[in-house]
A and B are shown apart, each in its own frame.
Chain A
Amino acid sequence: MFQKVLIAEDLDSINLAIDYVVRELAIAEIHHVKYCDDAIPKIKRALADGKPFDLLISDLSFKEDGRKVTLASGEELITAVKNIQPELPVLVYSIEDRNYRIKSLFEVQHINGFVLKGRDSILQLKKAIQAIFESDQPYLAPELKHILVDKTTATIEPIDIQIIKHLSEGVQQEEMEQVFKQKGIAPNSKSTIEKRIGKLKLLFRANNTVHLVAMAKDLGLI
C-alpha cells in the first residue's frame, strides 16, 4: 500500500473522512495542506529528501479567505504537481459532478482517479485508493463510468442531414453512394454512409431508417 500521502483539502470535516480511510488502509505517513500553494514546497521537500509522496488526494475548490494565492484551484495544483513529480498518482475528491469537468480532469490533467463526495464516498475512496495502487487504469465509480465514454458522436453534421434528406426522398441506402457522387456530395463512400446511418439511428433511437426519417421530419430537421 501507499506509504506517504498528501491531502490537499480545506475543510476539516471532509478531511476526517479521508483520515478515516487512510488509517483503515494502514498508510503510515499522512500530510495535510489547506492551501494549494503549501502543497508545492512539501512535494519538493519530500523529493529533495529522497522520500517522495506516493499519492496526492486533492479537492478542486478551495475557499477564498483573503490570503493571496497563486494556485487557486485543484486543477492548477495538479498541473503544477505534474510538472514537479510527473509520476505521482493523483486522486480527486470533490463535489464537482459536472460530467464535462470530470472528463476534462482525466483528459487534460491526467488524474488517476475521481471520487464524488457523497453519501457513500468513504467506501468509494477506499476502493479508489486500492484501485490506483493496484493498477494503472484510471478509477471512476461505476455510476460515473459513462462520463468517459466518447460522446462526440452526438453531433449531427451537414452530411448527416443530406443522408436523411435523401432517405426521405426514397433513395435506398445502397444507391446513396452513386447519387452522392453524381451530385458531388462528399464524403460519399459506401462505408461512410453506412456508418453515418448507423450512428443516426442510434442517436435518434430509431428502430429503422423509416423511423429515423419520420423522427427527423417531426423535429423539422429536414
Chain B
Amino acid sequence: MKRSAIHFLFLITLLLGVFHACQPENVLSKEALYKASSQKAIDFENAAQLDSAYYHYTQAKINSPDRTGDLFAYTLLKIAMLQHNKGDFSGSEETITEALANYKGSTYLPYLYNLLASSYYRLNNPTEALSYYQKAYETSTVEMERLIYQNNIGLIHLETKHYAQSIALLAPLLKEELLIANKPEYARVQDNLGYAQYKLNLPDAFENLSNAWRLRDSLQDNFGLTASCMHLSEYYQLIQPETAKRYADLAYQASVATQSPDDQLEALKWLTTHSQPQQAKLYYDRYIQLNDSLTKVRQLAKNQFAKIKYDSKKATQEVIKYKNQNLLLLVIIAFILLVGVLLYFLYQSITKRKLQRSAYETETRISKRIHDELANDVFHAMTFTQTTDLQNSHHKESLLDALETIYKRTRDISKENSNIRTDEHFEADLLQLLNSFSDPQLNVLVKTKNDIVWSKLLPEKKIAVFRVLQELLINTKKHSQASIVVIDFQNQSKSLFIHCFDNGLGYDLTIPKKSGLQHAENRILAIQGTLTFDSQPEKGFRAKLIIPK
C-alpha cells in the first residue's frame, strides 16, 4: 500500500480570505453568492461533512463570476479533491480537465497537475500520472511543494517497479531541511523510500519503514498509518507472519478511521489471506460487503459517466444516420433522374427511328411507283418511237397520248409526296385537299365544330394527318364507289379524333391491307397515334384516327 500526497497550502484559503475582505456587501450579486457558497463549503469541510462541502462547492462553481480566473480554478480543485478522496477518480479527472481548459492563471496550475496525476495513478495509468507529476514539479515555484512532487514522481517509479530510480529520487529528499521540518511529508517520503529499499532487499529498508510508522503514529495521521502498517505487514509477511497480521489489523483500523474504502479493502484483503480460517471468513465477508457497495457506488458513477458518453455517441450516430439518409435520398433522386433521362433519350431514339423508318418506307414506295408506273411506260414510248412512223399524224397523236399519261402520273407522284405547309395555312390547305376530292361522283363532307387548334399540333403530326387523310380519300375514290364520304373532326382533351367514313362498297378486312392503307397505319404509329379500320361489305368503310396532342 502506497500513499501519494495531495498537498495544499494555506495560501489558497488566505487568497480566498483577501477576496472576501475586498468584496462589497451585495447579497444578490454573483460574487456574493459565490462567497456565501464557498464559506459554507469551507465550514462543512472543516467539520468533515464532505458531502455537504461538495454540494456547496458545486454551488460556488455555478456562481463563479469568471471561469478563467483563480476562484473558478480553486473551486474546481476543491471539488476534484473531494471526488478524489471519495474514490471517484474519473470524476476528479473530468473536473480538473474542465478547470485546465478554462484556467488562464498560473497559481493553481501545479495543484491541478498534481491532482490530475494522482487521479491517473489511481486509474492505473502511470504513464499519464508521471507526465502530470513532472508538469506539477516544473510549474511549481514553492520549494516545499517541489519536494512533495519529487516524492510523487518517485512513488510512480516505485509503482512501475523502477525501484532504483525511485530510491535515487527519494533518498536525497530526506536530507532537505524543509522536509525535515514538515513531519507528515517527511514520514511519507521515508515510508516510500523504505518500501522501495525493501523491494530491492536493501539493508536500510526496515529502519526507514519503522521510523516512518512511528512518526505517523505520533502524528495520528491515519492515511499515512494505513500505508505504513501495510508496508510493515508486507515486510513481516515472510519472516514473522504473526507480526504481519498484527500490522494488517492496525492498517485496517487506520483505514476505517480514514473512511477511505480503497484503503480498507487493501487491508481486508491482506487480513483475509493472513488470518486463521474463522477470522479470515469474517474479514472476507466484510471485504465482499465493502467491495460490493464500493463497486456499486463506482459503477453508478461510471454508469452516469458512461450514459453521458453513450448519449453523445448516440447523438453523433444519429447525425451520421441522418446524413446517410440524406445521402441515400440524394442517391435515389439522382438515380431516378438518371433513369428518367435515359428513358427520355430511349423514347426519343425510338420515335426518331420510327420516323426514319416511315421516311424510308416513303422513299421505297416512291421508288417502286416510279419503277412500276413510269419506267415501263417511258420504255414503251421509246420502243413506240423507234418502231413507228411518226410522220403519220395518227401515230404522233398516240405518242402524245402516251407521253401525257406519263406526265400526269409524274405529277400525281409529285403531288402525293410534295411538301405540306404546316404553318398558319395548314387548316385551309387541309380543307382544300379534302374538298379537292369532291367531284360529280363523290362528295366529301367535313364535319367539325371548328374547335381544333391546329397551331398546337406538332408539324410531324399535322403532316401525318394530312397524308393519312389523303391516303384514305385516294382509297375511297379508287375502290369504294361511295357517293358520300364524311370526315368528322373531334377535339378531345388529350387527342385529336378523326373519323372518316363513306357509304361505299366497304372492304373485306380479312384481305391483306392495300399498301396505301398499310402506309397510312405506319405513319400514325410513328407519331404514337392509332389508326383502326372497320368495314363490312356493303356497309361502307370506317377509319378511326387518334392523334395524341
Contacts and interface: CB of A to CB of B under 8 A. Distances in A.
Interface of A: 95, 97-101, 103-104, 118-119, 151-152, 154-158, 161, 203-205, 215, 218-221
Interface stretch (B71-79, B327-335, B426-434): B426-434
Interface residues of B, number: 33
Task: Please list the 6 inter-chain residue pairs (A to B) with the smallest Cβ-Cβ separation, ordered nearest first.
Answer: A100-B432, A99-B436, A156-B447, A151-B435, A155-B446, A119-B404
A140 to B, nearest CB: 15
B404 A154 contact: no
A21 B470 CA distance: 36
A155 B434 CA distance: 10
Interface in B511-549: 540, 542
B449 A99 contact: no
B438 interface: yes
B492 to A, nearest CB: 16
B341 interface: no
Interface stretch (B105-113, B141-149, B292-300, B407-415): B407-415
Given A154-B443, A205-B484, A215-B484, A100 B501 contact: no
B121 to A, nearest CB: 98
Interface in B465-515: 483-484, 486, 501-503
A169 to B, nearest CB: 20
Contacts of B444: 154
Contact of A203 (B411, B418, B443): B443
Given A98-B432, A100-B428, A219-B503, 14 more contacts: A95-B411, A98-B433, A151-B438, A154-B438, A154-B444, A154-B445, A155-B431, A156-B445, A156-B447, A157-B447, A157-B448, A157-B450, A158-B449, A218-B540
Contacts of B438: 151, 154
A97 B411 contact: yes
Interface string B185-210: 00000000000000000000000000
B432 A221 contact: no
A220 B414 contact: no
B428 A104 contact: yes
B424 to A, nearest CB: 11
Contacts of B433: 98, 100
B436 A218 contact: no
Contacts of B425: 104
B501 A219 contact: yes
Contacts of B400: 119
Contacts of B414: 95
Contacts of A103: 432
B403 to A, nearest CB: 8
A41 to B, nearest CB: 27
